[in-house]
Amino acid sequence: MKNTVLSKLRNLDAYPKVNEDFFTRSLSGGIITLVSSLAILLLVFSEFRLYLHTVTETKLLVDTSRGETLRINFDVTFPAIPCSILSVDAMDISGEQHLDIKHDIIKKRINTNGDVIESKPDGIGAPKIEKPLQRHGGRLEQNETYCGSCFGAEQSDDDCCNSCEEVRDAYRRKGWAMTNADLIDQCKREGFFERIKEQEGEGCNVQGSLEVNRVAGNFHFAPGKTFHQSNIFFDDLMSVHKDSYNISHRINRLAFGEYFPGVVNPLDGGHWTHETSNGMYQYFIKVVPTIYTDIRGRTVNSNQYSVTEHFKDLEYISPNSQPGVFFYYDFSPIKVIFKEEHSSFLHFITNICAVIGGIFTVAGIIDTFVYHGQRRMKKKMEIGKFR
């Protein structure tokens, strides 16, 4: 019974053995074997490198995310606008507004050569209390608590404006232009206008980040602290207002979200040079939500974007239009997913087997043609000799 089973297994052998006495080895066969072996080693090494190399798979899905926020990181240089009159504002279609943003923003004063003069977070320091003017009209006495006047912009009887910034905020809430700023005690004590005059002819580098709602909106860099009234922007620095501003700028970096490998931000390193008397430079940005997962499983939720540009000369549009650099962004409904992956081990083994088997088979066919060709040539030569 055992011999019968073994005999049947022996009959299933797909690789019948040939007695060595019937082998014929040739020089051409040796050369073909050497060449095919080198080809196998080369292709196996190539497949192994491809197996170790990560492959990035790309998928497109409909973006169904809601109620999220977006961090915009920027680094923009204005060679001809001083930091004292440059403000950052943001708003979106939901109605949320952020005017004259100071949080998470650093302004660097630069000279005409582009060298940094001073670098500090945006904002005005505490006022110098040297017998300032009180709300009731007199000067601060020794035992009194300081409560500065808002110069008519108080919203209640208890309101106090203890700094130039607070007075300007009170005016802004009222919707008033601050045309008499040079007469305001707080601004005079803080040297507000002296700083503006001191920085005349300088430039400014603004870098930082904004946290905004994930809806269409815009943020902009504008000369002069602005406020919003009936959807029109005005300048509240009337006493230092210029007829025109040079809005030449260089975008060192602009990113919507975190960095991930392979991301290309098209505005990084871009610059525009002012050529007209005044204007509004606009960037229209389409933001594409992106999820990147690396080979270790670490996921980065970020964004890519495309952009178009447009310049408006303020001489030919509304006189109330605000000069500056505006970034209008909207979101694509499609989400891109990048995922780093290795080829599977089974796929690698399959390719190795295909390489070895394929080259072995092709080499055998070539060897057969060469061997039989040599035999025929040899026979013809022998027949020719006998004749």
Contacts 24+ apart (CB under 8 A), 238-242: 238/177, 238/178, 238/179, 238/181, 239/179, 239/181, 239/182, 239/193, 240/85, 240/193, 240/196, 240/197
Q: What average pLDDT score do residues 171-181 get?
A: 70
- Name the average pLDDT for the chain: 78
- DSSP per-residue codes, 235-300: ES-GGG--S-----EEEEEEEEB---TT---TTTTEEE---SSSEEEEEEEEEEEEEEE-TT--EE
Same domain, 261 and 112: yes
pLDDT single digits (tens) 283-301: 999 999 999 998 888 899 9
pLDDT at 136: 56
Q: What average pLDDT score do residues 261-276 get?
A: 85
pLDDT at 210: 92
74 CB-contact burial (10 Å; exposed 0-12 / middle 13-18 / buried 19+)? buried
Q: Are the beta carbons of 245 and 278 closer than 8 angstroms?
A: yes
Highest mean pLDDT among 112-116, 224-228, 259-263, 340-344: 259-263
Same domain, 35 and 96: no
Strand, helix or coil at 46? helix
Q: What average pLDDT score do residues 138-166 get?
A: 75
Q: What average pLDDT score do residues 38-46 get?
A: 90
Same domain, 46 and 100: no
263 within domain boundaries: yes
Same domain, 290 and 358: no
10 within domain boundaries: no
Q: How many residues does the chain have?
A: 387
Same domain, 178 and 251: yes
29 CB-contact burial (10 Å; exposed 0-12 / middle 13-18 / buried 19+)? middle
Find the range with the poorest average confidence among 28-32, 97-101, 144-148, 236-240. 236-240
Residue 330 has pLDDT above 80, yes or no: yes
> Can you read off the two tokens belonging to residue 178?
């601050």
117 within domain boundaries: yes
CA-closest candidate to residue 204, choices 88, 107, 323: 107
Residue 199 has pLDDT above 90, yes or no: no
Q: What average pLDDT score do residues 163-175 get?
A: 77
Instruction: State the CB neighbour count (10 A cutoff) for residue 54.
Output: 12
Q: Are the beta carbons of 377 and 369 closer than 8 angstroms?
A: no
pLDDT single digits (tens) 67-83: 788 899 999 999 988 88
Whole domain around residue 215: which residue ranges?
64-332
13 within domain boundaries: no
Same domain, 26 and 146: no
Same domain, 289 and 361: no
Cα–Cα distances in Å, from 270 out to 16, 75, 84, 250? 72, 11, 24, 6
Residue 233 has pLDDT above 50, yes or no: no
Banded model confidence at residue 341, pLDDT cuts 50, 70, 90? confident
Same domain, 24 and 89: no
316 within domain boundaries: yes
Instruction: State the CB neighbour count (10 A cutoff) for residue 215.
Output: 17
pLDDT at 125: 43
Q: What average pLDDT score do residues 345-361 get?
A: 87
378 within domain boundaries: yes
Find the range with the poorest average confidence among 34-38, 213-217, 304-308, 383-387. 383-387
80 Cβ contact list (under 8 Å, min separation 6): 203, 245, 246, 248, 274
Same domain, 206 and 253: yes
Residue 2 has pLDDT above 80, yes or no: no
pLDDT at 235: 44
Same domain, 146 and 221: yes
322 within domain boundaries: yes
Residue 184 has pLDDT above 90, yes or no: no
Domain count, the chain: 2
CA-closest candidate to residue 326, choices 269, 270, 283: 283
96 within domain boundaries: yes
pLDDT at 156: 79
pLDDT at 295: 83
CA-closest candidate to residue 303, choices 341, 267, 342: 267
Same domain, 24 and 100: no
User: Which tops the pLDDT comparison, 19 or 263?
Assistant: 263
CA-closest candidate to residue 365, choices 12, 36, 9: 36
Same domain, 276 and 374: no
Residue 238 has pLDDT above 50, yes or no: no
